[in-house]
Structure 1
Amino acid sequence: MEEIRARHNFEGCLVVDSVGRSGGLCMLWKSNTSCTLIGYSRNHIDLHIMDVNGEWRLTGFYGFSERHKRRDSWNLLRRLAGISSLPWFIIGDFNDLLDPGDKQGRVHHPNWLFEGFRSATLDCGLSDLPLHGYPFTWSRGLNSNNFVEERLDRGMAFTPWKTLFPNATLCSLLAPMSDHTPILLKCQGLQPPAHHKRFWFENKWCLEPNFPHIVCDCWTNLRGITITERLTAVSDSISTWAAHLRRNEQADKTRLQKKIQSLQGRHDTLSMQQKQSARKELAAVYLREETHWKQQAKQHWLKDGDYNS
């Protein structure tokens, strides 16, 4: 797991070793998330998370697969629920089903297992997060008459966690080799308040022939207001025009590239003229792009030298 951590640029890694060829848990996190270990066992890893959305709690869970140990899984859930009052999300392979709709196939699932797991989640105050995609996350014997599919993997949360992440979604992915389907939680928190974007003058605007007219017309049409209000109104007008210009630039670039490609190999006079005209227009688009990136990269020191001032 340390090799995987380094390969994928994770900062933190906590591993609960497997026993023989069974079990084994791992939790990894990036540098933009602060994680503090609350506790762990062979069946769970419990973390206190601090990120841009605030403080919350994440538990990775693995339930006992043996039926005679299911009560141990349910009691572990109850103990975990009482540890902290933080907004809580728990995700993993619970090896349990909440209701008959979590299963299809011929193998019978006893009612006492449904009722026991459902009772444990109610005692903990947990509710299921809907799963987008194929509803069953584990399968066996799909090429036989005794096939069975079940939703063993799920994510559940306290109500305060759902308030903290109102747009969170849980998706099932594809796994070509495993009998389990990976599930992906997308934590979309509350949207931060919108900030007015700072106006930034673009040098490439000076290459546009109609740019001086836009500024002049807007400035002269605004009378009877302060100079600050006038400047704000002009910058807003330019920003709207610039957004439209950016969309047109990308469309023009794609259109001209396709036109030149379609004219390649044609040597008649009309095609040669059209290709020359298209190349000239494309060169102007590239010049505006280059001017933009030069300004973004602040490349003046390449030309003028760096005085360490």
Structure 2
Amino acid sequence: MTAVQMGGLVRRLGVGGVLCVLSEGFFGGLCILWKPTLQVVLLSSSSGHIDARVTFPNSFVSQITGFYGQPNPTRRIHSWELLRRLSQVDIGPWMCCGDFNETLSVDQKSGPRLHSVGQIEDFQRIIDTCNLL
């Protein structure tokens, strides 16, 4: 989706705000949209993530991360290092969602390109390290 298309979508939805990082070729491209009742502050962003502090109307504060893992398995270790750093931001409960480009077990993948046991174990370790569910 281009920036112009995203702007049109934002206007049609009537959201309170939007944070976007555009894709770099076939990699990345993320947006976080929110209702006008929320206060959102950008903490950091890259082609593979958007990290924000969200304050809800009842003053509850949370960290929200939109994430896109490296599609290239040889570079995915950089994505896991980014997740580790993001997990250390301590502003309240953390929700991290998106496409990690990895599976937690061999039976979650079908098709011609199977993930190696090492790749799956690396992903399992970072999920545990970051206390993600």
Query: For this structure pair, what is the TM-score category when the shorter chain's length is used for normalisation?
Result: 0.7 to 0.9
Q: Is the 8 A contact 1:49 1:56 kept in 2?
A: yes
Task: Name the SS of the counterpart of 1:73 in structure 2.
Answer: helix
TM-score, with normalisation over the residues of structure 1?
Answer: 0.39
Which of 55, 73, 80 matches 1:50? 55
Partners of 1:78 and 1:29 in 2: CA distance: 25
Residue among 19, 31, 34 paired with 1:26: 31
Deviations 1:90-123 (Å, cap 9, x if unpaired)?
0001001111232234543210011000001111
Q: Does 1:112 align with 2:118?
A: yes
Provide the rounded CA distance (Å) in 2 between the counterparts of 1:23 and 1:87.
24
Correspondence for 2:19 = 14
1:66 aligned partner:
72
Q: Output the amino acid matched with 1:101.
A: D
Larger strand percent: 2
Higher relative contact order (CA 8 A, sep 6+): 2
The residue number in structure 1 matching 2:104 is 98
> Contact (CA 8 Å) 2:16, 2:37: kept in 1 or not?
no
Number of positions where the alignment pairs a residue of Structure 1 with one of Structure 2: 127
List per-residue Cα deviations over 1:154-208 (Å, max 9, x = no partner).
xxxxxxxxxxxxxxxxxxxxxxxxxxxxxxxxxxxxxxxxxxxxxxxxxxxxxxx
- The alignment-based identity, stated in percent, is 37
Contact 1:12 1:31 survives alignment (8 Å): yes
Please, what TM-score do these two structures have when normalized by structure 2? 0.86
Point out where structure 1 has 5 or more consecutive residues left out of the alignment. 128-309
Contact 1:48 1:58 in 2 (8 A): yes
What does 1:1-309 align with in structure 2 at a 5 Å threshold? 1-20=6-25, 22-52=27-57, 54-127=60-133
Confirm or deny: 8 A CA contact 2:24 2:47 kept in the other structure.
no
| Structure 2, gaps ≥5 residues long | 1-5
Which has the higher Rg, Structure 1 or Structure 2? 1
